[in-house]
């Protein structure tokens, strides 16, 4: 039933005009959340400037790592050049668990687990993307689907021996010693982060065609096996 409801909602959202902030969530609550959890590092609104984190005006529809006068982590810059665009869906995933979407992000935030709270925060952020005249309403930003990985999938205990065999496909590009020139390191990740990241590729939430293809044909058990194996490498 829930799935059906989401599907219908997505249809309405994508078929009609772009969603307005109030259709996403409670923007007033979102402003409160922003002040408590985000404003130590980020500014948003009139006169907002970059602080520890980049200013967040005009965030929706913007490419990741694209505020010109801000210095991003290598990982965020790479996601940007790979084509990650901030939409309701990608921002929701990022705020939910920042390191699952952008592994090496410098945003030192543990994530917001409550989906209602995330929608409230997104509704608030959205109000500062609608206003500036030079930010056109990008339609894809209005579509949100459920990105969370099923807890049953996260609970799968991977077989590291199988993972070691499967890893030979990864090590053609990713070096076992953790070097990350041009291609990021995949060794020594916490297993859950690895699983979430691979599912983000499988669901095409993370950009990058090679990884989408590789993850796309891995089963849940195979992803768990790889996570178990790479977690053992230092």
Partner 1 sequence: MQLNRRLFIGSTFAAGAMLSAPVVFGQAKPKVVVIGGGAGGATIARYLAKDSAGALDVTLIEANPIYTTCFFSNLYIGGFREFESLQHGYDKVAAGGVTVINDMATAVDRAARTVTLAGGQVLPYDRLVLSPGIDFKEGSVPGWSADSHAEIMPHAYKAGPQTQLLKSMIEAMPEGGTFAMIAPPNPYRCPPGPYERISMVAHVLKQKNPTAKILILDPKEKYSKQALFEEGWGRHYDGMVEWIGPEFGGGAVEVRPETMEIVIEGEVQKVDCCNVIPGQMAGKIAQMAGVTDDSGWAPVHPDSMKSKADENVFVLGDSSAQGDMPKSGFAANSQAKVAAMTIRAELTGSKAFPAKYTNTCWSLIAPEDGVKVGASYEPTPEKIASVDSFISATGEDAALRKATYEESLGWYAGITADMFG
Judged by the rule CB under 8 A, the positions of this chain that interact with partner 1 are 78, 80-83, 161-162, 165-166, 168-169, 171-177, 179-183, 209-210, 212-214, 216-217
> How far apart are the C-alpha atoms of 127 and 57, rounded to whole Å?
9
Q: What would the DSSP string read from start to end of 104-173?
A: T----------HHHHHHHHHHHHHHHHSSTTS---GGGG-----PPPHHHHTPPP-HHHHHHHHTTTTTT
Q: Which of 20, 63 has the CB closer to partner 1?
A: 63
In the complex, the smallest distance separating the C-beta of residue 143 from partner 1, rounded to whole angstroms, is: 22
Closer residue to partner 1, CB minimum distance, 108 or 219: 219
Q: How far is the CB of 74 from partner 1 (least distance, A)?
A: 11
* Distant-in-sequence, close-in-space partners of 12: CB < 8 Å, separation ≥ 6: none
For the CB of residue 220, give the shortest distance to partner 1 in the complex, in Å.
Answer: 16
Nearer to partner 1, 8 or 165 (CB): 165
Nearest distance in Å: CB 136, partner 1 = 18
Q: Which is nearer to partner 1, 132 or 165 (CB)?
A: 165
By beta-carbon proximity to partner 1, the closer residue of 108 and 171 is: 171
Do residues 76 and 65 make contact, with C-beta atoms less than 8 angstroms apart? yes
Cα distance between the two ends of the chain: 44
Residue 153 Cβ vs partner 1, minimum distance, rounded to whole Å = 20
Region of residue 107 (left: phi > 0; alpha: psi -120 to 50; beta: else): beta
CB 153 within 8 A of CB 199: yes
CA pseudo-torsion sign 191, 192, 195, 200: negative
Nearer to partner 1, 70 or 109 (CB): 70
Closer of 30 and 65 to partner 1 (Cβ): 65
At its nearest, how many Å lie between partner 1 and the CB of residue 185?
Answer: 10
Cβ at position 80, least distance to partner 1 in Å: 7
125, 44 in Cβ contact below 8 A? yes
Helix (H) or strand (E) holding 226: helix 220-232
Is 63 strand, coil or helix?
strand
């Amino acid at each position: 039933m829930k799935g059906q409801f989401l599907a219908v909602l997505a249809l309405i959202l994508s078929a009609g005009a772009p969603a307005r902030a109030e259709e996403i969530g409670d923007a007033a609550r979102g402003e409160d959340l922003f002040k408590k959890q985000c404003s130590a590092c980020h500014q948003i609104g009139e006169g907002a400037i970059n602080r520890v984190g980049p200013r967040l005006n005009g965030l929706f529809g913007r490419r990741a790592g694209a505020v010109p006068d801000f210095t991003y982590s290598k990982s965020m810059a790479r996601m940007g050049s790979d084509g990650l665009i901030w939409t309701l869906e990608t921002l929701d995933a990022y705020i939910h668990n920042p390191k699952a979407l952008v592994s090496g992000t410098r945003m030192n935030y543990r994530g917001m687990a409550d989906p209602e709270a995330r929608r409230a925060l997104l509704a608030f952020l959205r109000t500062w993307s609608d206003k500036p005249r030079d930010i056109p309403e990008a339609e894809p930003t209005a579509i949100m689907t459920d990105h969370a990985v099923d807890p049953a999938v996260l609970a799968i205990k991977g077989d590291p021996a199988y993972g070691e065999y499967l890893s030979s496909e990864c090590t053609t590009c990713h070096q076992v010693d953790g070097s990350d020139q041009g291609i990021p390191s995949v060794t020594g990740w916490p297993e859950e982060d690895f699983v979430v990241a691979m599912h983000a590729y499988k669901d095409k939430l993370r950009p990058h065609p090679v990884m989408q293809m590789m993850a796309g044909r891995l089963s849940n058990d195979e992803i768990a096996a790889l996570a178990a194996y790479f977690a053992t490498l230092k």
